[in-house]
Amino acid sequence: MISGKSIEISESGVRLDAALLRAFPTTTRSFVRDAIACGNVLVRGGGADDLKPAAKGMKLRAGAIVVVKELLEASDNLVALEQLPVNAPFPAAICFADDAILAFDKPAGMPVQPLSCRETGTLANAVAARYPECRTIGDSPLMAGALHRIDANTSGLVLVARTEQAFANLRAQFAAQTVKKTYLALVEGSVATGGTLENDLVHDPTLPYCRMIDVHDRKVSSRKGEGGRPLRAMHAVTRFMPIAHTTEGCEERTLLEVTIYTGVTHQIRAQLAIAGMHIINDRLYGAFAIENQEWHCLHALAAAFNHPVSGCPMEIRTPLPAWAQGL
């Protein structure tokens, strides 16, 4: 971390962020942006005025003094270690563990990874603290070896690599779409037969938050993405099969077993909703709100793949979530 440093600007018209990146090449553009936004960069103009918090797009004058109170470096971009209370249980049940991989049953409401190296409360934070060898594994510094993500409000299986070899091997299996991922989804209404759903999904450009829609939807097919670029669609394939039916009050519900090989954001939630099968309490995708229920009814049940060291086929399964038990 860079702290208590100052630089003098030699030429006018230089942007503040560019000056910081030039002076401190071990930092990153996003860390510079965050430091400015948090008031950790102060500027004294070319005169004798006092130090003041810097503005985002500020252009500097020759002779200006820039003081850095705190600025993270690229090497600081690691998952923060979660300090669990003494004798407290691990926040996610461990389904499998050996020298190469770990498998967790993540509870609904817990994110898989933090959005910044200062955030805590995620599965990755707890994994890095309990299994420190995972902290630097993988190609994303804030995943702590996690090989895939599931939504914060989705419960179930998350696979984590303990070595770089295991990570590379399993990531290649994910990329080749040979990892079979099985989910349980409780949906509104009665679904009589199974089927296969195929959609080209994109982030809805009409919303400031993440929701996936079919790129061929007439409401968005003519729109452009950020900067006027064409919307980037991701092909998603989801297979579903009804395995149980139940009623809640006078409302019918169907328990689906869902299988996916692709890994598009919100894939199951979006594709089932597009097909008229809304996951219980998934209000983002049009389901009715359920009183006194915080999370939606989607659970990552199992994954089948080849062990990254032995090469033997294996399947790891999690217990049924409470909402699926007894159906």
Can you give the pLDDT at residue 75? 79
Q: What pLDDT sits at residue 228?
A: 57
pLDDT category, 207, cuts 50, 70, 90?
Answer: confident
pLDDT at 256 over 80: yes
Residue range 242-270: average pLDDT? 94
* pLDDT at residue 318, rounded to an integer: 98
Position 225 pLDDT exceeds 80: no
Stronger pLDDT, 272 or 30, i.e. the higher one: 272
Element (H, E) at 15: strand 14-15
What would the mean pLDDT of 222-228 be, rounded to a whole number? 56
User: Is 5-76 a CATH 3.10.290.10 domain?
Assistant: yes
State the chain's mean pLDDT as an integer. Answer: 90
Q: Is the pLDDT of residue 230 over 80?
A: no
Look at residue 229 and give its three-state secondary structure.
Answer: coil
**For the residues 213-217, what does the mean pLDDT come to?**
87
User: In this predicted structure, what is the pLDDT of residue 221?
Assistant: 55
| Residue 219 confidence class, pLDDT cut points 50, 70, 90 | low
User: Which is it for strands 313-317 and 251-260: parallel, antiparallel or unpaired?
Assistant: unpaired
Determine the pLDDT at residue 85: 72
Examine the pLDDT at 46 and tell me if it is beyond 80. Answer: no
Could you tell me the residue ranges of all domains in the chain? 5-76, 93-176, 181-296
- What pLDDT shows up at residue 278? 98
In the numeric block, which tokens belong to residue 146?
A: 């996690």
Q: What is the pLDDT of residue 226?
A: 55
In sequence order, the 6+-apart residues with CB closer than 8 A to the CB of 48 are none
Q: Are 5-76 and 181-296 in the same CATH fold?
A: no
More confident residue, 84 or 239: 239
The mean pLDDT value for 274-278 works out to: 97
Mean pLDDT of 241-254: 94
Which of 26-35, 116-125, 143-152 shows the lowest mean pLDDT across its residues? 26-35
pLDDT, one tens digit per residue, over 62-112 is 888 888 988 888 878 889 887 777 777 889 999 999 999 999 999 999 999
Confidence category of residue 60, pLDDT binned at 50, 70, 90: confident
Of all residues in the chain, the percent with pLDDT exceeding 90 is 59
Q: What is the DSSP letter of 132?
A: G
pLDDT over 70 (residue 47):
no
Grouping H, G, I as helix, E, B as strand and the rest as coil, residue 323 is helix
pLDDT digits (tens, 9 = 90+) for 131-183: 999 999 998 889 999 999 999 999 999 999 999 999 999 999 999 999 999 99
pLDDT value, residue 229: 61
Confidence of residue 220 (pLDDT cuts 50, 70, 90): low
Contact 278, 215 (CB under 8 A): no
CATH 2.70.98.70 for domain 93-176, yes or no, is no
Dihedral, 318, 142, 171, 148 alpha carbons, nearest 10 = 30
- Decide yes or no: CATH 1.10.760.10 for domain 181-296: no
Report CA-CA distances (Å) from 311 to 76, 94, 305, 314.
35, 22, 9, 9
Q: pLDDT at residue 227 above 60?
A: no
